[in-house]
Structure 1
Amino acid sequence: MLLYLIIGCEIGFWIFLFVGLFIRYFFRSPKLSKAVLLCVPLLDFILLCATALDLHNGSIADFAHGLAAVYLGFTLVYGASVIKWADQHIAYCFASGEKPDQPPSGGWEYTFYEWQQWGKGVAAGVIAWVLLALAIAYVDQPERTSALNEWFAGIFWVLAIWLLVWPVWYSIFPKKLSHKV
């Protein structure tokens, strides 16, 4: 059931995002748009409460409980930048807005960009670790939370591989600047 709620929160994120931006650019109502976009963090709060309530009611922690922590970490760190990205693109395409920000095309600026993205990933991982640790402490029954412990290593390895494949790689072999004609 919790897995379906996570999927619903992800779908809800995109629905609130596009409805909010639709209201902003097609109905020209920035206040109403902002109210709709403020519903996005409400989805995170609902997921957090549902996860805590499920564990409180005696559920044995499983994959979905760990995924909820990772999802919340990701949305808390990346949610605002995804909204900004979508806002810039829709403003550019439909409201004569400025050209959207683009990542650097290469050189050390691109390497720095990759380090920033990885740093955001670390922040999301730390939030997920904290939520997992809080869930384990909250339940305080190791036999019910053993599945959550597996997530710590998973998050670590995803971040370690990400570190090596992008920031470290581009630090050693900087991406060449592309010159567009």
Structure 2
Amino acid sequence: MMSAFPGSALVCEEFRGLADGLELAHSFVFNPHKWLLVNFDCSAMWFKDSRHVVETFNVDAVLYLKPDFQDKLPDYRHWQIQFGRRFRSLKVWFVIRMYGQSGLQDHIRKQRFEGCVKTDPRFQVVIPVTLGLVTFCLKDKGNEVNEALLKRINDGGIIHMVPAKINNLYFLRFAVCSPQTEEKDVDLAWREVVTQTETLLH
């Protein structure tokens, strides 16, 4: 099961329903660098039975020095194509030590940008926000106006957003992924959206 972005939300009890059926999966992977305050890059993997991975990537045939502990501990060189592995788990450990469970939960639960969108009657939230991704557009302005708004925002160079389109409705997407992002940065992003909107509509 691939859960690159939303997997981080499982730190919060209210999102654990997203993992219904996980017990049927053979593997699970998510990227803590996308939403769990860990710097790029970091993927967390779990295998129900790691033998399948080890059999696929096993390199014993070309190894001339075999360590004494080979049968006692997982040998991660057999879990991937490359022989070496960077010490990414240390980054995860530091984040957990620094923020703790409650700090990580607070980060996942933040909804500041959504609140800004909802208080401005010119905009609408397109899809209810559950996992930190805020989808929004100008109400009753059509796709061309929203496309023009996104172009103005991205050309401004202050923030960058990407679009999406569902049922012929074009909208903008806003997500916070950096561990350095603070409320003032979210406020700056919203001010830029408002500034470009006012310039576009007047």
> TM-score normalised by the shorter chain: which range applies?
under 0.3
TM-score (norm 2): 0.22
More strand by share: 2
TM-score (norm 1): 0.23
More helix by share: 1
